[in-house]
Amino acid sequence: MGIPEQRAGMVQSILVVGGGSAGWITANLLNAHIRRAGRPTTVTLVESPDIPTIGVGEATVPTIRRTLSDIGLPEQDLLTSAEATFKTLIRFRDWNPGESYDHPFDRRQRPHTDAAVRGWTAQNGQAFDRAFSTLTQLADFNIAPKSPHAPPYRGNFPYAYHLDAIKLAKRLSKFGQARGIRHKLANITEVKVSPEGQISSVETDQGETLTADLYVDCTGFRSALLGKALDVPMKSYAKYLLCDRAVTMRVPYEVYKPERILTYTLATAREAGWQWDINLQSRRGIGYVYSSQFLSDDAAEAALRRYEGPHSDTLEARHIKFTSGKREMSWKGNCVAVGLSDGFLEPLESSGLYFIEFAALAVASMLEDYAAAPEATVRYYNRISNELFQEILGFINLHYVTSKRRDTPFWQAATADEAVLDDLRDRLELWKRRSPTQFDFPGADRLFAQDSYEFILHGMKYVEGPAGTAPMPPDLSGMVAKSRSELPEHEAFLALVQKAAAARPAG
Ligand SMILES: Cc1cc2nc3c(=O)[nH]c(=O)nc-3n(C[C@H](O)[C@H](O)[C@H](O)COP(=O)(O)OP(=O)(O)OC[C@H]3O[C@@H](n4cnc5c(N)ncnc54)[C@H](O)[C@@H]3O)c2cc1C
């Protein structure tokens, strides 16, 4: 096989439409892979100067470290430019009335804790997260998950970030353009589609006609290419995930400074949904995710203001509508949708940016496949993309349907039999009697598998029996004491980041 032949079967040009987190993460990841492979493919990103990005998406999962490292953005740069803080777990409050439990990122030690987990039931009364997660215990002392001397993106414990999504997209824009991504500011006014169902060009309000071998639709909920131009319908998951609105606020530390900058996302169940509380370096982000069927926008905003207290009077509230659902195909012809244009599942487990990471990496690794065998590539991509959505849909659904709350019409509907995802039904019956096992999660490289399910199911005190002998949980006290003596507190780590940034020459 000679070089000219390979070139003939190559994706020569990629046009990314949209400049939110999806657009800039995808453009940067594709560009980094293309450059490393020494291919001449061009990556162009066009974004509207008028349509704002969604501006939320502040909590991530640990794979974000691999993605940003793959892109080449230094960790110190991320921490400074997106004012990121560490996230080591989600703390779920009131998902059963008056209770709290964690979904941490650390994994329990196998196999010597297997027996203790197998014997764990709701009756033993102890907190599962405290018994099996070092991160849960460290969160009480606000300990950072890594030492300042650890290599970039590597921690003493698994971690992700809370970050400012708008600032991250801005930083990735500058970073990507410096590495060869071509950038245009224009509104796409028309998408031309050939009789064979391929996009032939996109027209801008600047009078330009843009063409590419592959179009990446990152236009957010508008889904201007895949949804509108190619007419790929949306499949709704509203039956399983009832929430369809959010009201959000930013709380600058000048307005209200919390005692600590938390290393976790706080997710508190509310009357008609749940509420997030996320701490960044100079502000908090709070939001109430709710179902419009059970709560009005005004009542949701009032509830969020009540939570925040009197100082919230000065803060602006943003209202966002969304649907939990996915396009029936993510990739059709020469157009693949990444981000909200493809689909969205309500943000309870911070999976939005993960879908983007997954899609961008999969597309990058399939560019040659696509050039050689487009139809098989598109079919296969659609399959794995669907499987991923189904997997995460099931995991989020689990949080609701295992709740014992029945105190409001929302909670009665969210826990009703018809809200249970079919895929979960059999396993939920089994999990009443036993903890999950590895055989409950077929398939490699899942984002949420046995450990995550254990933390939710035992956190919700769902596993009832059979009653066994009292299990001996592992002794984590040595690990906790060692980590507390070796790792800095979260604020101390962030102060070092800010000091290092101030000492660097501007530019
Ligand atoms: C309430 C809520 C909370 C969330 N929380 C989280 C979270 O905690 N963690 C997480 O990972 N994810 C979260 N997400 C998801 C996350 O916000 C998105 O996945 C992420 O921001 C990607 O958005 P996007 O880039 O696809 O779309 P957008 O940010 O909407 O960007 C769309 C882009 O397309 C451009 N555009 C649109 N139409 C045109 C046109 N005609 N011509 C040119 N350009 C155009 C716009 O200008 C913009 O640049 C949340 C989402 C919601 C709704």
Q: Name the strand (E) or helix (H) holding 33.
A: helix 21-36
Question: 264 - beta bridge partners?
Answer: 89
pLDDT bin (cut points 50, 70, 90) of residue 204 is very high
Residue whose CA is closest, atom 27 of ligand 1?
Answer: 220
pLDDT bin (cut points 50, 70, 90) of residue 7 is very low
Location of structure tokens 């669907």: 386
pLDDT bin (cut points 50, 70, 90) of residue 9 is confident
Residue whose CA is closest, atom 52 of ligand 1?
Answer: 56
User: In sequence order, what E strands does 6-96 have?
Assistant: 13-17, 42-47, 85-87, 89-93
pLDDT bin (cut points 50, 70, 90) of residue 21 is very high
Instruction: Tell me if 410 sits within 8 A of 272, measured CB to CB.
Output: yes
Instruction: Report how far apart, in Å, the C-alpha atoms of 86 and of each of 151, 161, 246, 491 are.
Output: 15, 5, 24, 10
Encoding tokens for residue 431? 């999990």
Instruction: Tell me if 406 sits within 8 A of 96, measured CB to CB.
Output: no
Cα-to-centroid distance, 56 and ligand 1 (Å): 7
SS3 421: coil
Taking residues 225-236, report their average pLDDT: 98
Tell me which of 48-62, 299-313, 438-452 is least confident. Answer: 438-452
Query: Annotated binding site for FAD: which residue ranges?
Result: 19-22, 340
User: Ligand 1 atom closest to Cα of 204?
Assistant: 42
Other Cβ atoms within 10 Å of 70 Cβ, number: 18
- In tens, the pLDDT along 406-415 reads 999 999 999 9
Cα-to-centroid distance, 246 and ligand 1 (Å): 14
Question: 250 - beta bridge partners?
Answer: 285
CA distance 298 to 319: 10
Encoding tokens for residue 253? 């530390």
User: Ligand 1 atom closest to Cα of 351?
Assistant: 11
Question: 143 - beta bridge partners?
Answer: 489
CA distance 234 to 39: 35
Cα-to-centroid distance, 25 and ligand 1 (Å): 12
Predicted pLDDT of residue 6: 38
Q: Which one-letter amino acid corresponds to residue 394? A: G
Predicted pLDDT of residue 123: 78
Query: Annotated binding site: which residue ranges?
Result: 19-22, 87, 340, 349
- In tens, the pLDDT along 479-490 reads 999 999 999 999
List, in order, residues 6 or more apart from 345 with CB less than 8 Å away: 237, 241, 324, 351, 352, 389, 392, 393, 396
Q: Which one-letter amino acid corresponds to residue 183? A: H
Instruction: Tell me if 403 sits within 8 A of 94, measured CB to CB.
Output: no
Predicted pLDDT of residue 445: 77
* Choice from 28, 44, 46, 54 to test ligand 1 binding pocket (greatest atom count within 8 A of CB): 54
Strand order in the sheet with 331-332: 182-185, 42-47, 13-17, 214-217, 335-337, 331-332
CA distance 472 to 452: 20
Taking residues 466-495, report their average pLDDT: 90
Instruction: Tell me if 421 sits within 8 A of 397, measured CB to CB.
Output: yes
pLDDT bin (cut points 50, 70, 90) of residue 57 is confident
Instruction: Look up 87 and say whether it is catalytic.
Output: yes
Instruction: Tell me if 248 sits within 8 A of 241, measured CB to CB.
Output: no
Ligand 1 pocket (Cβ < 6 Å) reads 17-23, 46-48, 51, 53-54, 56-60, 165, 187-188, 218-220, 222, 224, 246, 320, 322, 339-341, 347, 350, 352-353
Location of structure tokens 């993510």: 330
Location of structure tokens 């290092």: 500
Q: Name the strand (E) or helix (H) holding 91.
A: strand 89-93
List, in order, residues 6 or more apart from 184 with CB less than 8 Å away: 44, 45, 46, 47, 204, 206, 208, 210
Taking residues 176-191, report their average pLDDT: 98
pLDDT bin (cut points 50, 70, 90) of residue 2 is very low
Location of structure tokens 């979960």: 424
Start-to-end CA distance of the chain, whole Å, equals: 46
**For the chain, percent of residues with pLDDT exceeding 70:** 97
Half-sphere CA count of 463, side-chain side, radius 13 A? 28
User: Ligand 1 atom closest to Cα of 21?
Assistant: 25
Encoding tokens for residue 200? 């032939």
Assign 3-state DSSP to the chain and report helix, strand, coil percentages, each to 5.
40, 20, 40
CA distance 330 to 27: 17
Location of structure tokens 């961008």: 360
CA distance 325 to 482: 44
SS3 385: helix
> What sign does the dihedral 244-221-341-249 (CA atoms) show?
negative
List, in order, residues 6 or more apart from 191 with CB less than 8 Å away: 199, 201, 202, 203, 224, 225, 228, 229
Predicted pLDDT of residue 473: 83
CA distance 389 to 236: 12
Q: Is residue 253 predicted with pLDDT exceeding 80? A: yes
Taking residues 238-251, report their average pLDDT: 98
Predicted pLDDT of residue 124: 75
SS3 310: helix
Cα-to-centroid distance, 20 and ligand 1 (Å): 5
Cα-to-centroid distance, 345 and ligand 1 (Å): 13
Taking residues 8-26, report their average pLDDT: 93
* Choice from 16, 46, 51, 87 to test ligand 1 binding pocket (greatest atom count within 8 A of CB): 51
Closest residue by Cα to residue 364 from 13, 34, 66: 34
* Choice from 26, 56, 297, 341 to test ligand 1 binding pocket (greatest atom count within 8 A of CB): 56
What are residue 476's phi and psi, to 5 degrees? -95, 0
pLDDT bin (cut points 50, 70, 90) of residue 8 is low
Q: Is residue 3 predicted with pLDDT exceeding 60? A: no
Taking residues 90-94, report their average pLDDT: 98
Predicted pLDDT of residue 227: 98
pLDDT bin (cut points 50, 70, 90) of residue 1 is very low
Predicted pLDDT of residue 69: 98
pLDDT bin (cut points 50, 70, 90) of residue 72 is very high
Taking residues 103-114, report their average pLDDT: 91
Predicted pLDDT of residue 507: 54
Other Cβ atoms within 10 Å of 208 Cβ, number: 12
**For the chain, percent of residues with pLDDT exceeding 90:** 89
- In tens, the pLDDT along 274-293 reads 999 999 999 999 999 999 99
Q: Is residue 5 predicted with pLDDT exceeding 50? A: no
DSSP 195: T
What are residue 164's phi and psi, to 5 degrees? -90, 110
Judge residue 68's burial from the number of C-beta atoms within 10 Å of its C-beta, 0-12 exposed, 13-18 middle, 19 or more buried: buried
- Helices H / strands E in the chain, number of each: 16, 21
What are residue 408's phi and psi, to 5 degrees? -135, 160
Taking residues 295-303, report their average pLDDT: 98
Encoding tokens for residue 425? 């039904």
